[in-house]
Amino acid sequence: MRITNFVVAAAIGAGLVVGPAFQPAGSTARAAEVDGPKVTWQVSLWGKRRALSEGIEKMAEYVGEKTDGNFKIDIRYGGLAGPTENLEGVEADAFASALICTSFATGKLPALSGLELPFLPVDSIDQRKQVFETYLKHPAVVAELEKWNAVPLFAAVLPNYAAMGRGEAPKKLNDFEGMRMNSTGQVAEAMKLLGASVSSVTPPELYQSMERGVMDAVVYPFSSTFFAYRINELSDWYTTNFHPGTGVCLMIANKGEYEGLPDQYKKLLQDGKDGAYQAMIDQYKADDAKNVPVLEKDGVEAVTFDEETLKAFQDKAAKPIWEAWVKARDAQGLPGQDLLDTILKAANDTKQ
């Protein structure tokens, strides 16, 4: 679908003026901690409010409070564009900002896809936030987003993926051989290298697939996603430190709209990032605090691999994919090895 079609449809269907609105602050404005003109940014998301969207919700609250409503971030869950259209929507200035994920922009963000690589040495969501922030500053990543007329605001971080399944729990490398698993993207490729039989079904189909015995395990962000689709109810085990990868999502803004903001509003977007990250992380941790005791109560075994096994996973299932990724980026004229080294160094720095 052409960008012009969905922009017009969104505007007419929702009765919206698409794109940011700029107007002078009126005399009725109340005192604000940060003075400035009235600006409204429409932001395109999808689905419902959830942990992934808590960052932009917190940012909207922050800038609204600091400017006494003069800088308004208007979050739209649907109605502007779908997840596969958000990148093009920002490029065309159909709206000021959007949530994008590499899984919905296949082949369009090759440099950014480095953060999807399997078995990166990132053990927690707090570390992932720091790695993302470093990587988003890499010149090749900045240039890639500029091609889409976009600038990064902050990452919408996801938890590390884990495996959860039925039957005998995997304890060593060879235990994944022949296991029927649901997975996607580069994580799926890594599981194939471990000998798993990988397929991909839609989330609503997962429970039925496991219940009928046609699937042994699921690889998903831990822990709320498993509970959302009731996979925990059918499972005998889950992994605690397997970390085969994660999704890559971030909030972006149209470059022209961002550059058109007064400096004090740009500073607010920078100053509000820590709170945005913390809002997401707090929600994920709250989900885990609620869900992990349920797993313990139900007798679902927590599987923790030793360092030797984790290194074996990385050698067999990660390094070949890393090497192939570097070669593919080099072939596109990108500094593949430097991009990978940036990720690995940032991950190591978080552990110092």
What's the pLDDT score for residue 16?
A: 39
For the chain, helix (H) and strand (E) counts, in that order, are 14, 12
The domain tally of the chain equals 2
Question: Do 183 and 309 fall within a single domain?
Answer: yes
Question: Do 153 and 179 fall within a single domain?
Answer: no
Beta strands in 140-265 (DSSP E): 150-155, 161-165, 180-182, 197-199, 217-221, 237-239, 249-254
Min mean pLDDT across 2-6, 42-46, 241-245 is at: 2-6
124 upstream amide cis, omega within 30 of 0: no
Q: How far apart are CA 93 and CA 164, in angstroms?
A: 41
Percentage of residues of the chain with pLDDT beyond 70: 91
Indicate if the pLDDT at residue 27 is higher than 80: no
> For 84, phi and psi rounded to 5 degrees?
-80, -5
- Angle in degrees, CA 63, 66, 71, rounded to 5: 45
Min mean pLDDT across 7-16, 253-262, 299-308 is at: 7-16
218: which strand partners? Answer: 164, 182
Over the chain, what is the mean pLDDT? 90
Question: Do 230 and 309 fall within a single domain?
Answer: yes
| pLDDT, mean of residues 140-154 | 98
Residue 27, domain member (yes or no): yes
Question: Do 201 and 256 fall within a single domain?
Answer: no
Confidence band for 141, pLDDT divided at 50, 70 and 90? very high
Taking only the tens place, the pLDDT of each residue in 111-139 is: 999 999 998 988 888 999 999 999 999 99
Q: Supply the range of the domain harboring residue 325.
A: 161-245+293-349
Residue 14, domain member (yes or no): yes
Question: Do 16 and 81 fall within a single domain?
Answer: yes
Question: Do 309 and 166 fall within a single domain?
Answer: yes
What Cα–Cα distance (Å) separates residue 138 from each residue in 129, 143, 278, 343? 15, 9, 23, 10
Question: Do 93 and 169 fall within a single domain?
Answer: no
Question: Do 186 and 252 fall within a single domain?
Answer: no
Indicate if the pLDDT at residue 300 is higher than 70: yes
Residue 284, domain member (yes or no): no
Q: How far apart are CA 40 and CA 310, in angstroms?
A: 48
Say which CATH number the domain at 72 has.
3.40.190.170
What's the pLDDT score for residue 90?
A: 99
Cβ-based neighbours of 159, under 8 Å, separated by 6 or more: 125, 221, 222, 223, 246, 284
Question: Do 219 and 334 fall within a single domain?
Answer: yes
| pLDDT, mean of residues 331-349 | 98
Percentage of residues of the chain with pLDDT beyond 90: 74
Question: Do 263 and 322 fall within a single domain?
Answer: no
Question: Do 205 and 259 fall within a single domain?
Answer: no
Residue 311, domain member (yes or no): yes
What's the pLDDT score for residue 5?
A: 45
